[in-house]
């Protein structure tokens, strides 16, 4: 349906994976894009081998990992020696390659809408990240020291599908800005919030017409957007302003196959609550900032 991102052999520097058989997913527990992929794989009913990469320890910046993903991002899929990157593309690839419930529509109009909406969701990822890095845990626990970013920036000749890829530079800029400001600043929060107010308004309109984002039923589009809605709602975004979306969100949250993949250890959730409470005490929770800026 889209131009799915499969790496060219020349992009793959960690050549041992070329001989791997079966379905291997490189993922991180707390990564929203990984969670999305895991939920989709469960819905599809595929078996996969887990390779957990701890991005909090910068394991995604190693030469080995950058050799299968020049962007240094989670998730990454190896299937019978082929390497696929980008969560939405990975899901689409697996949907086409395996039997099981179809996660992508067959109707051409729905396909066109879904392509556009999946891209929209993906384009908002740095906004999800900004809110996560501000409100999930204290900056000292979240930030990437400059020397880790230096390693990331220096590693590897960066090609994707045989062509120079500019994605890493965008990532590096994000981390450098965060370090320069010692965290995510209010302006970034408001920018992200504004994007989600618009996006959620669009989702609300769809859900006024049908139970799922597409008329034909649940698809990977619901999974992809749900992960975003889940993440930012937990960080304090007022999703309840969008009543149909809030019901849709709650319906998936009640499902074991969704809840399981986004679960975090209780001590982490406690830490996150304390961190958000500290912002609230100084008047800078997400909703307090929104109120100050008239959102």
Ligand X SMILES: N[C@@H](CCC(=O)N[C@@H](CS)C(=O)NCC(=O)O)C(=O)O
Q: Between 93 and 242, name the residue whose CB sits nearer to ligand X.
A: 93
| One of 6, 31, 134, 193 touching ligand X (CB under 6 A) | 31
| One of 6, 66, 78, 87 touching ligand X (CB under 6 A) | 87
d(CA 170, CA 154): 14
d(CA 116, CA 121): 9
d(CA 205, CA 185): 31
| One of 74, 103, 124, 214 touching ligand X (CB under 6 A) | 74
Write b or e for each residue in 80-105: b if 16 or more Cβ atoms lie within 10 A of its Cβ, otherwise e: eebbbbbbbbbbbbbbeeeeeeebbb
d(CA 237, CA 128): 11
Is 60 a residue that touches ligand X (CB under 6 A)? Answer: yes
**Stretches 81-89, 154-162, 228-236, 256-264: which one binds ligand X (CB under 6 A)?**
81-89
Is 86 a residue that touches ligand X (CB under 6 A)? Answer: yes
x-or-dash pattern for ligand X, window 229-248, by CB under 6 A?
--------------------
Q: What is the CA angle 191-195-201, rounded to 5? A: 145
Q: Between 53 and 286, name the residue whose CB sits nearer to ligand X.
A: 53
Is 33 a residue that touches ligand X (CB under 6 A)? Answer: yes
| Nearest Cα residue to 210 out of 124, 113, 294, 133 | 113
d(CA 17, CA 83): 8
Q: Between 141 and 247, name the residue whose CB sits nearer to ligand X.
A: 141
| One of 55, 77, 131, 245 touching ligand X (CB under 6 A) | 55
Q: Between 171 and 289, name the residue whose CB sits nearer to ligand X.
A: 171
Report DSSP state, residue 294.
T
d(CA 207, CA 242): 10
**Stretches 25-33, 198-206, 213-221, 272-280: which one binds ligand X (CB under 6 A)?**
25-33
| One of 59, 110, 122, 153 touching ligand X (CB under 6 A) | 122
Q: Are 28 and 52 in contact (CB under 8 A)?
A: yes
* Minimum separation from the CB atom of position 37 to ligand X (A): 8
Q: Between 103 and 289, name the residue whose CB sits nearer to ligand X.
A: 103
**Cα 17 to the chain's mean position, in Å?**
24
Note the residue count of the chain: 295
| One of 13, 51, 102, 125 touching ligand X (CB under 6 A) | 125
Report DSSP state, residue 214.
B
**Stretches 8-16, 82-90, 256-264, 273-281: which one binds ligand X (CB under 6 A)?**
82-90
Binding residues vs ligand X (CB under 6 A): 31-33, 55, 60, 73-74, 86-88, 122, 125
């Amino acid at each position: 349906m889209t131009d799915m991102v499969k790496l060219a052999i020349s992009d793959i520097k960690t050549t041992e994976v070329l001989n791997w058989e079966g379905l291997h997913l490189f993922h991180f527990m707390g990564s929203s894009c990984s969670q999305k992929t895991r939920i989709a794989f469960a819905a599809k009913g595929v078996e996969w081998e887990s390779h957990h990469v701890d991005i909090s320890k910068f394991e995604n910046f190693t030469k080995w990992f950058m050799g299968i993903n020049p962007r240094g991002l989670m998730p990454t899929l190896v299937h019978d020696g082929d390497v696929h990157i980008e969560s939405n593309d990975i899901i689409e690839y697996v949907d086409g390659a395996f039997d099981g419930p179809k996660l992508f529509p067959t109707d051409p109009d729905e396909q066109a809408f879904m392509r556009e909406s999946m891209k929209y969701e993906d384009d908002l990822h740095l906004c999800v990240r900004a809110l996560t890095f501000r409100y999930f845990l204290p900056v000292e626990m979240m930030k990437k020291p400059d020397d880790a970013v230096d390693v990331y920036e220096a590693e590897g000749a960066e090609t994707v599908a045989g062509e120079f890829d500019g994605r890493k530079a965008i990532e590096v800029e994000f981390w450098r800005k965060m370090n320069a400001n010692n965290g995510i600043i209010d302006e970034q929060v408001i920018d992200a919030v504004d994007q989600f107010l618009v996006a959620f308004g669009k989702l609300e309109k769809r859900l006024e017409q049908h139970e799922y984002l597409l008329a034909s039923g649940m698809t990977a589009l619901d999974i992809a957007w749900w992960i975003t809605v889940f993440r930012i709602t937990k960080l304090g975004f007022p999703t309840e302003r969008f009543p149909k979306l809030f019901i849709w969100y709650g319906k998936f949250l009640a499902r074991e196959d969704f809840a399981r993949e986004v679960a975090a250890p209780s001590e982490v959730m406690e830490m996150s609550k304390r961190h958000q409470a500290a912002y609230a005490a100084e008047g800078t929770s997400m909703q307090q900032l929104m109120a100050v800026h008239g959102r």
